[in-house]
């Protein structure tokens, strides 16, 4: 069982749109007020996670606690020594799944202000914790130590909506305590060494710590949950933790240390976010984000798998397989589409369908995974799903030559046309390469999309440029924002060539200039909506916040379009923001304008880590080298970002054609392939 998905402000909401033809789509449901998590340390190794404050105590406030499969096993774990809580000095992430805390205490009889007792805690996502008291006092100490424990065994969804329920009564169990809920679920905390006293009524474990000068006393805790007893023959426990082998351990060595830290942390976060489909344990995909969105496979998982292709194709294969199982069938109008919920698009705009986004992404991701070296067995298995997605695309193009989003408004979104155009061209290339029919028809569809897009979405007046969306009656929403970055994202074809863009050279240049304006480039990344728009909200998921994914797409798209200046500016801003967030990028943060000495402002309910943010960091950093693989054509080339904006950099541990790959960019912007699979033709 995967942790629950919780609707969050501006996120995917409503029920999936796998409906009968002609049924009206529901409006997005009213978002809940999520507890703030921007200041929390979140340890992740899905399906397990821990949310805790920097002081290290679990107080039971808000979302704090130890979770497994969406259930809070422990909400309170408060340490006291001689009746006092340690003075918290530092809390930090040691890795994606482990946090460490440091505190101190002065013991009775000490002279002067210097504390003599150090308290070290290390807490892991798997429910283990180590607490060590270390003495620097010049005499032996005998100190009472106690842990106050408690839990409500609440579901993550109940925690998110502020209705977790009351704390349960404990019972003594072995060397610790046990709690059992009304549904038969239980949680157990065991301790080593065994406590001297276990007080179930108070939920307290007690020890007497004897510390010689320079000695240490350590307590090890283990938190475990158990589901209710199942009838004979019922399914067993959910699938275990996926292995990190799906994602290569890439490294970056540069004159600027930030790319190396960001890449290392992003790879750790991607591995921590891996989870399995319970019904098909071999189907592994990335959770959209922690703590709120760890449910079924989403369009974000597809985008993240695509941006993580330089780390290997296995994640793309398992993600495509997982989401492909949801494809609608039956021969009706919806046949071939992937279902998905609605996504709020901000004030005065109708919601969008993430299922359409996933349907158009599927053939594109499969086509690019093939270029990176996807094994032929995976390609053969997944190709029929891609064909059905492409059949749906050809059928759904309306009389106006555009792709509508389902719903009563009949809106056409510019971003959707860009996704459809890329899917058509990459899909045609894929079908041709696999000896399947339909390539020419898809190229005709792409040609129609280009022509109709120019008429419906583009204006050439003084303030012209692309419109965000078009209504069924012909009206347009002219709202510049980070969404425009997707108009530059074309995808890879054979020989390391980019597919033809939806825009011509003049239009691409105008979009590039737009993305580089202060109204969109906040200095920390790309705003979702221009700061000059009346509906701009710096905390709006689609109306002004900086989304790491859009910024990464913009960096890569601008680099591909030869707009190195704008790409470098956005990349530097993203790196600066990542450094302020400890190199663990949240899915979004406030689109406040950067000021001298300022820091990016966190969004209180943003997931962190988030799949598209971590994978987006990989995508943006790879733009520095411009790696363009063509594994079927036995070639790979590098096209570095001009002027080497971060100085010299070496990227290693990547995967092309199933083998290790490394490339170097000099301080002058010259690229070189240093390691590649045998038989690949190398180019720069």
Q: What confidence tier does 109 reach under pLDDT thresholds 50, 70, 90?
A: confident
Tell me the pairing of strands 681-683 and 635-638. Answer: parallel
Rg value, the chain, Cα: 26
Q: How far apart are CA 302 and CA 296, in angstroms?
A: 12
Least confident of 352-356, 405-409, 426-430: 405-409
Question: 91, 55 in Cβ contact below 8 A?
Answer: yes
Q: Which residues pair with 148 in a beta bridge?
A: 78, 204
More confident of the two residues 426 and 106:
426
Provide the token pair at 601.
């402002």
Whole-Å CA distances, 238 to 2, 178, 279, 292, 382? 8, 22, 9, 19, 25
Q: What confidence tier does 228 reach under pLDDT thresholds 50, 70, 90?
A: low
Average pLDDT over residues 339-358: 83
Res 25: pLDDT: 40
DSSP state of 62: T
Res 233: pLDDT: 39
Res 459: pLDDT: 84
Q: How far apart are CA 144 and CA 107, in angstroms?
A: 11
Buried b (16+ CB within 10 A) or exposed e, 523-562: bbbbbbbbbebeebbbbbbbbbbbbbbbbbbbbbbbbbbe
Element holding 629 (H helix, E strand): strand 627-630
Q: With 80 as the cut, is the pLDDT of residue 244 above it?
A: no
Res 237: pLDDT: 40
Question: 297, 273 in Cβ contact below 8 A?
Answer: no
Cβ neighbours around 175 below 10 Å, total: 16
**Tokens 């390391």 label which residue?**
496
Residue 40: partners with Cβ closer than 8 Å, 6 or more residues away: 51, 52, 53, 63, 64
Provide the token pair at 2.
């995967």
The per-residue pLDDT for range 303-331, each reduced to its tens digit, is 999 999 999 999 999 999 999 999 999 88
pTM for the predicted model, two decimal places: 0.92
**Best CA proximity match to 493, nearest among 482, 501, 485:** 501
**Best CA proximity match to 299, nearest among 85, 671, 16, 629:** 16
The per-residue pLDDT for range 487-530, each reduced to its tens digit, is 999 999 999 999 999 999 999 999 999 999 999 999 999 999 99
Res 9: pLDDT: 41
Provide the token pair at 22.
């002609």
Question: 662, 675 in Cβ contact below 8 A?
Answer: yes
Q: Calculate the CA 576 to chain-centre distance.
A: 19
Q: How far apart are CA 35 and CA 590, in angstroms?
A: 17
Mean pLDDT of the chain: 90
More confident of the two residues 251 and 163:
251
Q: How far apart are CA 95 and CA 61, in angstroms?
A: 24
Q: What confidence tier does 32 reach under pLDDT thresholds 50, 70, 90?
A: low
Q: How far apart are CA 421 and CA 653, in angstroms?
A: 32
End-to-end CA distance of the chain: 47
DSSP three-state, residue 612 = helix
The per-residue pLDDT for range 611-656, each reduced to its tens digit, is 999 999 999 999 999 999 999 999 999 999 988 899 999 999 999 9
Q: How far apart are CA 126 and CA 97, in angstroms?
A: 8
What DSSP line would sit under 488-530, residue for residue?
A: G---B-GGGPBPPPSS-HHHHHHHHHHHTSTTTB-SSSBBSS-
Q: Is the peptide bond before 609 cis (omega within 30 degrees of 0)?
A: yes
The per-residue pLDDT for range 250-273, each reduced to its tens digit, is 999 999 999 999 999 999 999 999
DSSP three-state, residue 263 = helix
């Amino acid at each position: 069982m995967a942790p629950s998905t919780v609707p969050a402000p501006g996120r995917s909401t409503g029920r999936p749109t796998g409906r009968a033809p002609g049924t009206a789509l529901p409006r997005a449901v009213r978002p809940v007020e999520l507890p703030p998590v921007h200041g929390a340390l979140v340890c992740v190794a899905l399906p397990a996670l821990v949310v805790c404050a920097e002081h290290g105590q679990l107080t039971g406030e808000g979302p704090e606690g130890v979770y497994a499969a969406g259930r809070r096993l422990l909400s309170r774990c408060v340490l006291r020594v001689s009746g006092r809580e340690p003075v918290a000095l530092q809390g930090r992430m040691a890795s994606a799944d482990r946090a460490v805390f440091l505190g101190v205490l002065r013991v009775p009889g000490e002279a002067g202000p210097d504390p003599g007792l150090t308290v070290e805690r290390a807490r892991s996502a798997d429910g283990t914790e180590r607490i060590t008291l270390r003495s620097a006092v010049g005499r032996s100490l005998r100190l009472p130590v106690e842990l106050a424990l408690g839990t409500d065994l609440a579901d993550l969804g109940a925690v998110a909506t502020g209705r977790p329920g009351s704390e349960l009564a404990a019972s003594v169990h072995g060397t610790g305590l046990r709690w059992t809920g009304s549904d038969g679920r239980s949680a157990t905390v065991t301790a080593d060494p065994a406590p001297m006293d276990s007080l179930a009524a108070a939920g307290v474990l007690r020890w007497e710590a004897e510390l010689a000068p320079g000695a240490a006393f350590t307590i090890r805790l283990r938190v475990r949950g158990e589901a209710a007893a199942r009838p004979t023959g019922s399914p067993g426990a959910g699938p275990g933790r996926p292995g990190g082998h799906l994602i290569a351990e890439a490294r970056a060595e540069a004159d600027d240390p930030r790319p190396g830290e960001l890449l290392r942390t992003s790879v750790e976060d991607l591995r921590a976010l891996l989870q399995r489909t319970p019904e098909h344990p071999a189907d592994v995909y990335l959770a959209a984000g922690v703590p709120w969105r760890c449910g079924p496979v989403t369009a974000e998982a597809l985008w993240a798998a695509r941006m993580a292709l330089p780390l290997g194709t296995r994640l793309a294969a398992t993600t495509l397989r997982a989401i492909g199982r949801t494809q609608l069938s039956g021969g009706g109008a919806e046949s071939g589409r992937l279902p998905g919920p609605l996504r709020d698009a901000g004030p005065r705009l109708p919601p969008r369908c993430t299922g359409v986004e996933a349907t158009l992404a599927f053939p594109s991701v499969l086509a690019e995974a093939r270029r990176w070296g996807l094994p032929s067995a995976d390609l053969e298995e997944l190709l029929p799903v891609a064909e059905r997605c492409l059949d749906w695309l050809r059928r759904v193009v309306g009389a106006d030559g555009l792709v509508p989003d389902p719903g009563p408004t009949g809106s056409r979104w510019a971003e959707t046309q860009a996704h459809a155009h890329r899917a058509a061209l990459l899909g045609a290339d894929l079908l041709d390469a696999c000896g399947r029919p339909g390539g020419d028809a898809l190229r005709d569809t792409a040609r129609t999309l280009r022509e109709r897009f120019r008429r419906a979405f583009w204006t050439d007046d003084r303030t012209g440029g692309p419109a965000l969306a078009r209504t069924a009656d012909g009206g347009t929403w002219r709202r510049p924002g980070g969404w425009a970055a997707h108009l530059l994202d074309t995808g890879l074809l054979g020989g390391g060539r980019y597919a033809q863009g939806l825009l011509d050279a003049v239009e691409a240049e105008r979009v590039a200039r737009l993305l580089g304006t202060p109204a969109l480039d906040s200095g920390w990344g790309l705003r979702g909506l221009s700061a000059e728009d009346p509906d701009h909200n710096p905390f709006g998921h689609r109306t002004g916040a900086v989304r790491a994914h859009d910024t990464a797409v913009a960096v890569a798209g601008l680099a591909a379009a030869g707009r190195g200046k704008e790409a470098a500016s956005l990349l530097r801003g993203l790196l600066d923001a990542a450094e302020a967030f400890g190199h663990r990028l949240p899915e979004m943060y406030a689109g406040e304008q950067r000021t001298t000495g300022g820091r990016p402002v966190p969004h209180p309910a943003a997931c962190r880590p988030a799949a598209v943010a971590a994978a987006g960091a990989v995508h943006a950093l790879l733009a520095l080298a411009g790696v363009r693989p063509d594994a079927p054509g036995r070639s790979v080339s590098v096209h570095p970002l001009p002027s080497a904006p971060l100085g010299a950099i070496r990227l290693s541990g990547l995967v092309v054609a199933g083998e290790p790959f490394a490339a170097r960019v000099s301080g002058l912007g010259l690229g070189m392939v240093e390691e590649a699979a045998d038989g690949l033709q190398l180019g720069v």
